[in-house]
Structure 1
Amino acid sequence: MKNIFTFIFVTLLFSCQNNAQVNSKQQAVIDAKPIEVALENGKAKAYFASGCFWCVEAIYESIKGVDEVISGYSGGYTKSPTYESSNTGRTGHAEAVEVIYDPKIVSFATLVDVYFGSQNPTQVNGQGPDKGSQYRSIIFYQNDEQKQIILKKKEALAKQLNTKIAAEVYPFQKFWVAEDYHQNYERLHPENPYIQNVSIPRLNRFKAKFPELLKSKH
């Protein structure tokens, strides 16, 4: 009997951690009106969650027209999330990136193509070895035009693969910048075992698929 109770407890705990997004506070985030980020010096911002932000930051920074990518947290209901609190899976947030780009060089639609083309689009609550709601895939829209771009591309990919696409589609609300040591992590820590075995291979797979989008090497 004790083993049964232990199993039930562990199951419920795992469920709570990995489905942290399913509650009334999270539903309010999903149902909210999107916030549109104004252009700054002609540059736009877009927001994506696709597993470990170390990986995603490096992918978007390789794209022509992208000026900078910042790692952080978004999609949840908890104020001022930290790496430690996000890792509990109980903040509602996912590891995310803020992509600062020149819309005259690269379109939002292309950034969405990069998003779907740089991950396993069918993996629920994670990417690769990183599992949990804090690593789930979310793509954020700031207006109805962006929402329609996302939904059409998601639907087309589902038809192409003949399966359900895991990415959630959220109205953008707020982006919380991650701790300094997470920024440019892949570039600054190339010898890290995770970077060597997960991040760099993921980046290289992306580069092989989209060579025409990459910044030229000087």
Structure 2
Amino acid sequence: MKSFASFLFLLVLLTGCRQRPGNTAENAKDNSPAKLPALQPGESVATFAAGCFWCTEAEFESLRGVREVVSGYAGGELANPTYEQVGAGQTGHAEAVQVYYDPKIVSFDTLVKAFFIGHDATTLNRQGPDVGTQYRSIAFYRTPAEKAAIETIIQQETASGRYGSPIVTQVAPFAVFYPAEVYHQGYYYTHPNELYVSTVSTPKVEKFRKRMADKLKDNIQQ
């Protein structure tokens, strides 16, 4: 049993959030960039990088007051990067999500707290089996008030004693967000039986939903 568990972990490690190109099914997917939604009246937007965006997207979409979450790339230099370029560490970007939300229902502070609940902020350039700068932890801010909120919550998280190692999250000014390819959007829901999703993403999302139970939409299963 132990050897099988080790084999399974190795298999997930080799696959990770990054898919292997070149097969027919992969080539048939819609690789065009997704379109960003227009902001609705009174709506705000927030951007976070917390490892593989498949599960991060599903986590934030679970929250009451969040209308839409888009998976994409942020924090790098290359314009309009592709999944393969980001996955190869060629662009400086991290896999990220952009969250469109109603601040009257869910605050920016709550989103930041959810961001820390949803991933391990103490592992540098790594989340579980995913290793590389493209999986680093970043909380982006658009205003001085958002920067102050992120820094305050980091101080609170550090003081909580929940962490065995220092938080390594970058606090960075928002510059630009590039939406990922269409086939990545909603990936958690459309590929539930994929090995990475079932063994890594699903436990992570379920843990998040349990800890954020009082903030979930009514139709979300814990």
Question: Smaller-chain TM-score range?
Answer: 0.7 to 0.9
Alignment of structure 1 residues 94-173 onto 2, 5 Å:
94-161=94-161, 163-173=165-175
Q: CA RMSD in A?
A: 1.4
Q: Distance in 2 between matches of 1:50 and 1:200?
A: 15
Query: 3-state DSSP class of the match of 1:54?
Result: helix
Query: 3-state DSSP class of the match of 1:169?
Result: strand
Q: Distance in 1 between matches of 2:157 and 2:103?
A: 24
1:148-187 deviations in whole A, cap 9, x for unaligned?
0000111221222364101101100000000000000001
Gaps of 5+ in 1: 1-37
Query: 3-state DSSP class of the match of 2:40?
Result: coil
1:56-99 deviations in whole A, cap 9, x for unaligned?
00000000000010000001111111100001112110000010
1:69 aligns with 2:69: yes
Tell me what 1:3 maps to.
none
Q: Distance in 2 between matches of 1:59 and 1:187?
A: 11
Tell me what 1:204 maps to.
206
Q: Distance in 1 between matches of 2:79 and 2:197?
A: 29
Q: In structure 2, what residue type is equivalent to 1:177?
A: P
Query: 3-state DSSP class of the match of 2:160?
Result: helix
Alignment of structure 1 residues 17-56 onto 2, 5 Å:
40-56=40-56
Tell me what 1:32 maps to.
none
TM-score by length of 2: 0.79
Q: Distance in 1 between matches of 2:39 and 2:82?
A: 27
Tell me what 2:188 maps to.
186
Q: Distance in 2 between matches of 1:126 and 1:151?
A: 21
Query: 3-state DSSP class of the match of 2:69?
Result: strand
Q: Distance in 2 between matches of 1:126 and 1:63?
A: 25
Deviation at 1:39, TM superposition (A): 5.5
Q: Distance in 2 between matches of 1:92 and 1:207?
A: 30
1:112-148 deviations in whole A, cap 9, x for unaligned?
0100111112111021111100010100000000000
Deviation at 1:49, TM superposition (A): 0.2
Q: Tell which deviates more after alignment, 150-159 or 64-73.
A: 150-159
Q: In structure 1, what residue type is equivalent to 2:170?
A: E
Tell me what 1:13 maps to.
none
Query: 3-state DSSP class of the match of 2:49?
Result: strand
Gaps of 5+ in 2: 1-37
Q: Distance in 1 between matches of 2:202 and 2:56?
A: 11
1:191-214 deviations in whole A, cap 9, x for unaligned?
111110011100001111110011
Deviation at 1:188, TM superposition (A): 1.0
- Structure 1 residue runs of 4+, over 6 Å off? none
Structure in which a larger fraction of residues adopt helix: 1
Identity, % of aligned positions? 47
